[in-house]
Amino acid sequence: MQAPCPQCAQKVLVDDAKAPDRPFSVRCPKCQGIVRFTGRSPEPASAPAAPSAPGEDGLSDEIRAEMTARLRREVSELEAARGQVLAALPDAQLAKALTQPLADLGYVVDVLDVPEEGGRLLEQGTYSVVVTSRTAPVPGQAETLYSRLSRLSPEARRRIFVVLAGDEFRTGDGTQAFVALADLVVNPKDAAGIEMPMLNAMAERSRLFQAYRDARRRFEEAES
C-alpha cells in the first residue's frame, strides 16, 4: 500500500504483508512527516465493488475521505477551544479556499478590511489562525501582515497557526515553512486540496505544544 506524505508529497510505500489490519502511521523518509494509513483490509468473502480511481495524490476517494474525517476528529479534540481566523489575501477566492476547512471545523473567519483593527486584535491574541502572504498589506498602513506577525513576541506567536500562501512555495514543505516563520506554506494552485495537509499540520502542531504545556506544568509543579 502507498500514501503521499501530506507535508512533502513523497509517496511512502508499506509492504501489505507487514501492515496491521488497523490504522497506523509511519514517518516519511524524506521530511520525517507523519503519513497515515488505514490498515490492511481483511480478505472479502466476495468480490468487492470496484474502487474509485486514485487522484493525483495516489489516494482513492474513499481512503481520502476516511483520512480527512479522522484528521477532522483529531483536530477537533486537540483544538478544543475554537478561535478566530484572520484572512488577508488579495485573492478572495483563494482566501475562501484556504479558510473553508477551518470554517467547517467551527472557526470564525474574519477578512482584514479595517485599518489598524486587524493588527491590534492580532497583538491582543484574538486570532488563533492567520492566513496571509508575504506581500498582503495591512489596510491603511505601509507594512504587511507578515511583517506584523514577525514582530510578535515568541509567546504571542506560539499561539497562532500561520498559513502563508505564495507562488514561491511548495505546499507543505516543512523547510520552507520554517524559513518563512509559518506553520504551513501553500502554493495557490494546491488550494483546492489543502484540507488534508492543513488538518495534518494543525494536528502535529497541537500535539507538539500539548507536550510543551505538559512539560511546563510538570516543571512549575516541581518548582512549587
* Number of structural domains the chain divides into: 1
Mean pLDDT to the nearest integer, 154-183: 90
Residue 130 is assigned to a structural domain of this protein? yes
Residue 13 is assigned to a structural domain of this protein? no
What's the pLDDT at 64?
59
The tens digit of pLDDT for each residue in 33-72 reads 787 777 766 555 444 544 444 445 555 667 656 666 665 6
Closest CA to 112 of 122, 101, 125: 122
Any bridge partners for residue 140, and if so which? Answer: none
Q: Check which CATH number belongs to the domain holding 130 and give it.
A: 3.40.50.2300
The tens digit of pLDDT for each residue in 57-110 reads 555 667 656 666 665 665 555 554 457 888 888 888 999 999 998 888 888 888
The domain of 177 spans 84-197
Distance CA 130, CA 152 (A): 13
> pLDDT-derived band of residue 173, with 50, 70 and 90 as boundaries?
very high
Tell me how many degrees the CA angle 183-186-2 measures, rounded to the nearest 5. 90
Distance CA 114, CA 145 (A): 13
Distance CA 143, CA 149 (A): 11
Residue 163 is assigned to a structural domain of this protein? yes
Contact 183, 207 (CB under 8 A): no
- Whether the predicted model's global pTM rises above the 0.75 cut: no
- CA contacts within 13 A on the Cβ side of 144: 13
Residue 103 is assigned to a structural domain of this protein? yes
Contact 152, 120 (CB under 8 A): no
Residues comprising the chain, all counted:
224
